[in-house]
Amino acid sequence: MAIILKKGNSFNITKKEPTLKKALIGLGWDLKEGNALDLDASVFMINSKGKLPQDEYLIFYNNLNSPDGAVKHTGDNRTGIGDDDDEMILANLETIREDITEILIIVSIHDAEVRRHNFGMLTDAYIRIMDVETKREILRYDLDAEYPTNTDIEFGRIKKENNEWIFYASGIGANKSLEGYINIYA
């Protein structure tokens, strides 16, 4: 049984799942009836200075692989249709570049401002982590808090603390758009 996290909870992956090397970070959402919008998952791999070591450590639909080969986006989903993961990130926790201390997982609505889209048009958003080798679901965080006016949400972050990877169910809504996050971390 996967551990179910609530907003603000954390999970020490290294301590509780010492055999987990290759993680699948699955992100899912559904659209409320009558809506059509495109959500995009992005991963910012940042160092202790709070920055991407280089631009290519932002992994998203236009840059599917991190230069260290450790993080891979499996591709853009434009509809969110279906109960399974809508966008997926593969992360090899063992081969992540040494100076990366934080992995931020953001989901943003494509062209939200122009199209007047927001998370109020969505339902059943979640993030989960699976063990690729055993296909076991390790943890899951359903974003049950409402984000009716937000256009982007930090679903979670995985931090390296004392050489242990810890997942935080952050669930921080914002209206920055992907560019806003890039301005902070690039």
Name the residues that contact Ca ion, by CB under 5 A. 28, 30, 38, 40, 76-77, 80, 86
Find out whether 146 and 171 touch, Cβ atoms under 8 Å.
no
Give 140 or 160: the residue with its C-beta nearer to Ca ion. Answer: 140
DSSP 3-state of 16: helix
CB of 160 to Ca ion, least distance (A): 28
Q: How far is the CB of 28 from Ca ion (least distance, A)?
A: 5
Nearer to Ca ion, 39 or 169 (CB): 39
Tokens of 154: 């930090």
The least CB distance from residue 76 to Ca ion, in Å, is 5
Q: How far is the CB of 147 from Ca ion (least distance, A)?
A: 16
The residue (of 80 and 173) whose beta carbon lies closer to Ca ion is 80
CA distances from 20 to 76, 117, 133, 135 (A): 25, 37, 8, 11
**Between 54 and 123, CB nearer to Ca ion:** 123
Contact 108, 42 (CB under 8 A): yes
